[in-house]
A and B are shown apart, each in its own frame.
Chain A
Amino acid sequence: MKCGNPKIIIKRKQSGQTLCKSCFVESIQKKAIKTIKQENLIDKGDNVLVALSGGKDSVATLDILNTYKERNIIELCAVTIDEGIANYRNDGVAIAKKHAKRLGIEHKVVSFKYSFDITLDEIMKNPNHRISCSYCGVFRRWIINRAARDFEADKIATGHNLDDEVQAILMNYLEGNIDNLTMIGAKTMSHSPLFRPKIKPLREIPEREIGLYTIAKDLDVHLAGCPYAQESFRGEVSEIIKNLSKNHPTIMYSTLRGFDKIKLALKKEHKHDFQFDTCIKCGEPSSNEICRVCTFLDELGKA
């Protein structure tokens, strides 16, 4: 106990530390600010675009970055992607709109339908569809990059948490995907000027603590599972980490720290110049003649 307040809202298994509501909220903000400082995530005057789904991670990211906006260190804007999932996405979009309005932030909702002339629901009715997460990952990235240029944003902030980062490290390691492994980090730069750097202020905070933060701060968030979530490799890896964490509560922290240490060496050893060109169909940066979005759209008969 830090302050003597007996109303404890968390007992951290990794440290045995117990915290009251206000000490917990402060500890989360401090942690994010420390990541931002140490990893040089923002510069004074930056216009930061938040990828705002309305879920707990993105709402917490917005909430924490807003403290920088309040101190006139940065400008904020937000984009919400409407994948077109009936009975699911509308709630998130409404919550995202509400937060943007409340904070006086420029906000845009961009749909798959508008961008690609097809909704995720329609994609999933196509007999040749891949698993839904493949489309979401690739299509969202494409939309966010365009939105970043439209907003003239200097950085793109996402709500990736500690669980997400550790899952990505383990997945890519286990699959031997060293190219992707070298791309994981607090700040992702690209050689293409069409990409804006991506920053992850919450990457050292466990997912549960981010959820607790939004509840402790009474932030309205969209809490629901995606109806298309299914057995995926990420899910299996996540299960392994959760099981390990039960008896080894510091395992996610040590995995992330260890990875951050070997990453520099990895990057140096594994350096190869990505030949970034632009997709001949959509003009977005791509290492192949036709980008993944256009490849997927072609498969769906939408090209």
Chain B
Amino acid sequence: MNFTLIFKNNKETRSLANDNTTINDILNDLDLSSETVVAKKNGEIVIEDEKIQDGDEIQLIQIIYGG
């Protein structure tokens, strides 16, 4: 089981640990806060509780920069 992750001009295939993986798990993995990021799943905006399935394309858009 894999999904595609698009973040900061990078596109990569990642393996999916289980059926219950959510956007939030990915954010935690990347040490990102849901407060600074908007996520899209297969082109549509989703909330961080959204589950990721085999073959999904997940795009993370950082909308808030520190400083």
- Residue contact A211 to B64, C-beta cutoff 8 Å: yes
- Residue contact B67 to A10, C-beta cutoff 8 Å: no
- Residue contact B67 to A215, C-beta cutoff 8 Å: no
Whether, in the assembled complex, A283 has its beta carbon less than 8 Å from a beta carbon of chain B, the answer is no
- Residue contact B36 to A208, C-beta cutoff 8 Å: yes
Q: How large is the interface on B (under 10, 10 to 19, 20 to 34, 35 or more residues)?
A: 10 to 19
Q: How large is the interface on A (under 10, 10 to 19, 20 to 34, 35 or more residues)?
A: 20 to 34
| Known A208-B35, A215-B38, A242-B35: A7·B44 in contact at CB below 8 Å | yes
In chain A, what residue has the closest Cβ to B63?
Answer: A211
- Residue contact B64 to A208, C-beta cutoff 8 Å: yes
- Residue contact A212 to B67, C-beta cutoff 8 Å: no
In chain B, what residue has the closest Cβ to A232?
Answer: B67
A-B contact count (CB 8 A): 53
Whether, in the assembled complex, A140 has its beta carbon less than 8 Å from a beta carbon of chain B, the answer is no
Choose, from A116-124, A166-174, A219-227, the stretch at the interface: A219-227
- Residue contact B65 to A224, C-beta cutoff 8 Å: yes
Taking CB atoms and an 8 Å cut-off, the chain A residues in 199-245 that contact chain B are: 207-208, 211-212, 214-216, 223-226, 229-230, 232, 235, 238, 242, 245
- Residue contact A216 to B45, C-beta cutoff 8 Å: yes
Shortest distance between the CB of B64 and any CB in chain A (Å)? 6
In chain A, what residue has the closest Cβ to B35?
Answer: A208
Which residues of the other chain, A, contact B32 by a CB distance below 8 angstroms?
none
Interface residues as binary, B5-38 with A (CB distance below 8 Å gives 1, 0 otherwise): 0000000000000000000000000000101101
- Residue contact B35 to A212, C-beta cutoff 8 Å: no
Whether, in the assembled complex, B4 has its beta carbon less than 8 Å from a beta carbon of chain A, the answer is no
In chain A, what residue has the closest Cβ to B33?
Answer: A242
- 11 A-B pairs besides A56-B63, A207-B63 with CB distance below 8 A are A21-B45, A207-B64, A208-B38, A212-B38, A214-B63, A225-B65, A225-B67, A226-B65, A229-B66, A229-B67, A230-B67
- Which 6 A-B residue pairings sit nearest by Cβ, starting from the closest? A229-B67, A211-B63, A225-B65, A9-B45, A11-B47, A215-B38
Binding site for B on A (CB under 8 A): 7-11, 18, 21, 56, 207-208, 211-212, 214-216, 223-226, 229-230, 232, 235, 238, 242, 245
A-B contact pairs, 14 of them (CB 8 A): A7-B44, A8-B46, A9-B46, A10-B47, A11-B49, A208-B38, A211-B38, A212-B63, A223-B65, A232-B67, A235-B66, A242-B33, A242-B35, A245-B35
